[in-house]
Amino acid sequence: MLNFELYNPVNMVFGKGQIAKLSKLIPQNAKVLLAYGGGSIFKNGVHAQVAEALKGYEVTEFGGIEPNPRYETLMKAVTLIREKKLDYILAVGGGSVIDGVKFISAAVNFEGDPVDILVKRIRIENNTMPFGTVLTLPATGSEMNSGAVVTIDKTQEKLSFGGPAVFPQFSICDPTVISSLPKRQLQNGVIDAYTHVMEQYLTYPHDALLQDRFAESILQTLIEIGPDVVENPTDYKLASNFMWSCTMALNGLIQKGVPTDWATHMIGHELTALYEIDHARTLAIIGPNLYRVMFDSKKEKLAQYGKRVWGITATNVDGAATQAIEKTVQFFHTMGMETKISNYTADYEKTADFIVKRFEERGWKGLGERQNVTPEKVKAIVEMSY
């Protein structure tokens, strides 16, 4: 097992009715920026619950944080916080609002040009504004991790950053909030979480036995509940297991002591930046083709995954690994994912060359757990995804 440090200070407040606890979680004298997205929280009653819980606080609202949050929008919130001298942020939304608030929190007191946080990928270690979250969409794990992804509109770049100072102080995760989610977003949540586990599990055989079992159990749970939660989001057993699986998939635990990949996400982010394809759907497109192109590098772990998660009985490694990829694609289709770029845009022919050029400009010569996802491999993966 590799050496590791596990630090996670997030106070996870999970369950029905927990939004009412906000006043115990935010300091009484705080001047709060309430940040949200396109307005779903007004239709599903979440805003009303938050407003009720925040009675007595000085609250300034900031709406309009987009899916795939934009740097340009977030900087408006930074200006507002500075003007009104606010000192606490509450994110109410999905991964985009939470990621956006992480950026706002880091940018408010940043010495220098905040765009550098993204462009130079500065690790955020201190000087942030404290914030908490009320999660409305299980998917990203952002409610319990210290990473975020922000898009710069001007350059059409989707860039990640993070650091120990951008963990939420608390996250309220009430599974009943998912009942208003459109089917598409429920599907996205399952597949994003599934791929998060795959990025931290589907590498090569190693000695961290417990980590593998954690990862496999999250995958099995998502396979068990995924198709049903999409149809019955008001079923509390399904909703609560879905929400907790998504958090556990990316709260840092399963990545400790093991090699990790993340190349599917890096390539997928480019598809969102270029074509605005939903994050999870980019993963469903790229993931299986990455496993195909990197087959020799990943086949032992693919075979283990196939046997333990899908019950594949083939005894030879190549056969079990191939079947495991097929099972994964079938599951993605069951979950309503289309798995080709051409399903989303007619204008895809130059995508591979464009992405390779960008990666080369950024000096990304070798992604993945063995740094062997070279520009040539990226090209092959993207072209296979047309």
Segment interacting with ligand NZQ (CB under 6 A) among 7-15, 135-143, 311-319, 358-366: 135-143
CB of 134 to ligand NZQ, least distance (A): 10
Site for ligand NZQ in 95-134 (CB under 6 A): 95-97, 99
Binding track over 50-69 against ligand NZQ, x by CB under 6 A? -----------------xx-
Q: Does 192 engage in binding with Zn ion (CB under 5 A)?
A: yes
Options 136, 200, 221, 245; binder of ligand NZQ; rule CB under 6 A: 136
Name the nearest CA neighbour of 172 among 38, 49, 28.
49
Of 155-194, binders to ligand NZQ (CB under 6 A) are 177, 180-181, 185, 188, 192
Q: What is the 3-state secondary structure (H, E, C) of 117-181?
A: HHHCCCECCCCCCCEEEEECCCCCCHHHCCEEEEEECCCCEEEEEECHHHCCCEEEECHHHHHHC
Q: Which stretch binds Zn ion (CB under 5 A): 65-73, 175-183, 190-198, 364-372?
A: 190-198
For the purposes of burial, counting CB atoms within 10 Å of the CB of 363, is it exposed (0-12), middle (13-18) or buried (19 or more)?
A: exposed
- Residues paired with 36 in a beta bridge: 92
CA torsion angle 232 238 239 243 (round to 10)? -140
Any contact of residue 40 with ligand NZQ (CB under 6 A)?
yes
Q: Which residue in 23, 44, 260, 374 binds ligand NZQ (CB under 6 A)?
A: 44
Contact 254/248 with Cβ under 8 angstroms? yes
Evaluated on CA atoms 44, 269, 294, 385, the torsion sign reads positive
| 369 counts as binding Zn ion under rule CB under 5 A | no
User: How many chain residues touch ligand NZQ (CB under 6 A)?
Assistant: 33
The site map against ligand NZQ for 5-34 (x = CB under 6 A) is ------------------------------
Q: Which does 200 bind (CB under 5 to 8 A by kind): Zn ion, ligand NZQ, none?
A: none
The binder of ligand NZQ chosen from 140, 203, 241, 328 (CB under 6 A)? 140
Strand arrangement, sheet containing 11-14: 11-14, 170-173, 131-135, 88-93, 31-36, 58-62
Per-residue binding letters, 212-251, with ligand NZQ (x by CB under 6 A):
--------------------------------------x-
What is the phi-psi region of residue 290: left when phi exceeds 0, alpha when psi lies from -120 to 50, beta otherwise? Answer: alpha
- Give me the residue label for tokens 């007191």: 109
Element (H, E) at 33: strand 31-36
Give dist(CA 314, CA 365) in Å, integer.
35
Could you say which of Zn ion, ligand NZQ, none residue 385 binds, taking C-beta under 5 to 8 angstroms by partner kind?
none
Query: Which one of 114, 132, 141, 233 is in contact with ligand NZQ (CB under 6 A)?
Result: 141
The nearer residue to Zn ion, 132 or 268, going by C-beta atoms, is 268
Distances from the Cα of 149 to the Cαs of 8, 160, 235, 252, 306, in angstroms? 19, 4, 31, 16, 31
Q: CA 302 to CA 311: how far, in whole Å?
A: 12
- Give the binding site for ligand NZQ (CB under 6 A): 37-41, 44, 67-68, 93-97, 99, 136-137, 139-142, 145, 147-149, 177, 180-181, 185, 188, 192, 250, 265, 279
- Give the binding site for Zn ion (CB under 5 A): 192
